[in-house]
Amino acid sequence: MTLLISIGRVARVGIGLVVLVLAAASASAQQAPSALAATPDVTQLPTGPVGQLPAQVAAPHWAMSSGFEGDTHGTGYGFTGPTFHRPVSRNVMFVAGAGVNYLYYGFDSGARGRTSVTSPGGSATAGVRLGDRNWVQLQAGPGVKRRHEVVRDETDRIISSQNNVEVGLNLGADVWMNPSPTRNIQGMLQYGGEDRYTWGRIGFKQQITNLNWRSRFTHYLGTEYIGQGNHDIRSNQFGAFVELLHVPSSLSLMLRGGYKRSSFELGPAKTGPWYAVSLYKAFK
């Protein structure tokens, strides 16, 4: 399948969503590994908890997503930014978002040397969502990243240091399905043209409390798979998450974590735990 091949070829940031990777709030690299945690810009993120989907809201509204993901490989990714939703009809919605992000990571570069990269960036996207309770969303927009790379030898002496600014087109597709009022399935696929980075996620969550929606708090449990990267680095991660939704304020907190395996063009593969935290807030 093209999706699996694309994810399998995964790094150079992304994310980033991966991101939390929000998935972030319930819902992430460059000429070298980048965007772990997904190149997620904010448009990669699920946009609301089960039973509270913005697609069901008649009036235009804003939402805010923020998150951070890290691992034991020395990689981290953080992001934050707003998204605007404007329904055109019950089954058509215009979406637009912007955000800033920051990536850091490192990898073995041969002869016991090491390369470290920091990559702050920003993006803006616009697109359309089709559907109501179940929907598909497509978006696109420009992205820019400033990549700072430092190469050190085995004695930690700096061999080279360089800065590059890269601009490209970001593309994204999201699928949101509710097989029942308490269950949700989401799929996301994102491509960052500035670093040629692909990020994909499939997640499932189950509502476990407040089934009658009369309480102030609602809890969810879920599981997810994330594949990401490009020709420099490829990562596959499996995990679980717990989500807490404060219903009156539409504020959602998600804690995520699991197991991750990353392979590189140079050096041995690395495995270990990954962790993430995400916040989502809808302003209605």
What would the pLDDT profile of 18-71 be if each residue is shown by its tens digit?
333 333 334 333 333 333 333 343 333 344 444 444 444 468 999 999 999 999
How much is the pTM? 0.77
Amino acid (1-letter code) at residue 179: P
Query: Taking a C-beta distance cutoff of 8 angstroms, is the pair 174, 38 a contact?
Result: no
pLDDT interval class at 110 (50, 70, 90): low
Report the alpha-carbon distance of residue 38 to residue 70 in Å, rounded.
10
> Is the pLDDT reported for residue 89 higher than 80?
yes
DSSP 231: B
Q: What would the two tokens of residue 41 be? A: 């810009």
Residue with tokens 């717990």: 242
Report the alpha-carbon distance of residue 95 to residue 130 in Å, rounded.
11
Report the CATH number of the 2-283 domain: 2.40.128
Query: What is the number of residues in the chain?
Result: 284
Taking residues 155-181, report their average pLDDT.
Answer: 92
Strand 114-131 relative to strand 217-229, pairing? unpaired
What would the pLDDT profile of 183-235 be if each residue is shown by its tens digit?
999 999 999 888 888 889 999 999 999 999 999 999 999 999 999 887 777 89
Domain borders along the chain are 2-283
Query: Taking a C-beta distance cutoff of 8 angstroms, is the pair 208, 219 a contact?
Result: yes
* Cβ-proximal residues to 266 (8 Å cutoff; 6+ apart), any chain: 107, 108, 109, 110
